[in-house]
Amino acid sequence: MKTICSAGGLIIKDDHVLLVKIAYGVNKGYLMLPGGCVDDGESFEEAAVREVKEETGIYARPKRLIGLRTGTKETPNGLELGVYVVFEMEMVSGCLVADGNEVSDVQFRPIDDVLADSQVISLTQEIILSYRSALSNSGLFTLKSTLETNNKYVDYHVYTLLKPDF
């Protein structure tokens, strides 16, 4: 069975959420969180940063892990496992610009409007509802200290329930 890994980012600014309008595939015309596939040799965190930047023009960094979706689907080539990791991300810099290829529009929209909009995919709405309902110190946070391992990792992240001091 083939495995496809992807990552996305939830960016909230002044009670507005950053969304992209998809320009291709089964989600064409729908709004969702920015994100996409993890490239070979890339971590979920690196993929989320790259995809958000490519699709929206915004540079953001992951703060905490807030969602995980797994699913197995049938494809013409057999079963495929999809793993999608969603980070709350902090906007660092940049200006909104749709990539014009995968994404036809990018916008910050009021959260209440997004939750009521049938053009926003349900997974995005569920992630936003969960985020809004959760405590600010819930979720899995990146461990700031370095752990010693017996393996030689190129990129290494540990998430714990303990919120670090930023």
Q: CA distances (Å), 98 to each of 26, 59, 122, 129, in order? A: 19, 13, 22, 25
- For 79, the enclosing helix (H) or strand (E) is strand 78-94
User: 145 in a domain, yes or no?
Assistant: no
pLDDT of residue 162: 74
User: 156 in a domain, yes or no?
Assistant: no
Per-residue pLDDT tens digits for 29-83:
999 999 999 999 999 999 999 999 999 999 999 999 999 999 999 999 999 999 9
User: 154 in a domain, yes or no?
Assistant: no
Structural domain for 12, as ranges: 2-136
User: 142 in a domain, yes or no?
Assistant: no
Per-residue pLDDT tens digits for 11-28:
999 999 999 999 999 999
At 35, which CATH number?
3.90.79.10
- For 2, the enclosing helix (H) or strand (E) is strand 2-10
User: 144 in a domain, yes or no?
Assistant: no
Kindly report the backbone phi and psi dihedral angles of residue 43, in degrees, each rounded to the nearest multiple of 5, phi listed first. -85, 165
**Closest-CA residue to 89 (of 116, 107, 67):** 67
Tell me, rounded to whole angstroms, the distance of Cα 10 from its chain centroid: 6
User: 100 in a domain, yes or no?
Assistant: yes
User: 161 in a domain, yes or no?
Assistant: no
Say how many domains are in the chain. 1
User: 105 in a domain, yes or no?
Assistant: yes
Per-residue pLDDT tens digits for 120-166:
999 999 999 999 988 777 888 877 777 777 887 777 778 888 777 64
pLDDT of residue 151: 81
**What mean pLDDT comes out for the span 108-118?**
98
pLDDT of residue 152: 79
